[in-house]
Structure 1
Amino acid sequence: MERLTFRFPATKILESQAHVGVVGSGDLEILMVPTDGDFAEVTIRTGTTGYKEIWKSVLERFFIQNAVSARIMINDFGATPGVVTLRLAQALEVANNAEYNKN
């Protein structure tokens, strides 16, 4: 099991928290919690070791477009970069959709 931590500058505030995905074969779970800082902190727990640079690249692309101030926890079970990107976008949409979060 590998644990990775990254920090990215942030300028946007999230509406609320989000929880998307499942920890299962080829997938991952993302928990996104708003913070009031000027950075985002991402912690990844993965059973697939040796992919730090790929994680960094995927996350950098996400934060270039979405500089959200949040604490993000990712529990990975071998997800591809495409699945990671999809789940991050999904978590952001859930966190920014206040109406969805009331249900």
Structure 2
Amino acid sequence: MERLTFTYAGGRPATRNAKATLAGVVGSGNLEVLVEPVAQDGAMTIEVTTAAVGFGRIWQAVMDDFFARHRLGDLRISINDVGATPAVVSLRLDQAIETYLGGGQ
């Protein structure tokens, strides 16, 4: 297992009620994403635990794209992965944020 952490500063507060949101299920070729409100001075922290070791640069690119599109802050996102493709990771992240924000931004 590999653990990666990405932190992005300068996000806008993700306003919603203060409940964590879980999207997805860890299973063969899939992943789960947990979104939690955490005061971080506008930062977003993404922690990835993955069985696919050695793909840090790809994870970095997917997380950079996600933050560029959403620019949210005061969130901690935890990802548990068992080998999902980058496209599935991106889709699951979008699904988790949309659910967290109550159906849209």
Whether the 8 Å CA contact 1:13–1:35 is kept in 2: the answer is: no
- TM (norm. structure 2) is 0.87
Matched residue SS, 2:59: helix
Post-superposition shift, 1:20? Answer: 0.5
Q: Distance in 2 between matches of 1:91 and 1:12?
A: 16
Identity within the alignment, %: 41
Quick check: 1:64 aligned with 2:77? Answer: no
Quick check: 1:92 aligned with 2:100? Answer: no
Whether the 8 Å CA contact 1:13–1:36 is kept in 2: the answer is: no
- TM (norm. structure 1) is 0.89
Matched residue SS, 2:84: coil
Amino acid at match of 2:13: K
Matched residue SS, 2:48: strand
Q: Distance in 2 between matches of 1:88 and 1:41?
A: 13
Matched residue SS, 2:83: coil
Amino acid at match of 2:50: T
Q: Distance in 2 between matches of 1:52 and 1:33?
A: 23
Aligned to 1:77: 82
Q: CA RMSD in A?
A: 1.3
- Deviating above 4 A after TM superposition, structure 1's stretches of 4 or more consecutive aligned residues are none
Aligned to 2:6: 6
Q: Distance in 2 between matches of 1:14 and 1:55?
A: 26
Gaps of 5+ in 2: none
Matched residue SS, 2:100: helix
Amino acid at match of 2:90: T
Aligned to 1:29: 32
Q: Distance in 2 between matches of 1:43 and 1:36?
A: 16
Aligned to 1:42: 46
Count of residues in Structure 1 that have an aligned counterpart in Structure 2: 98
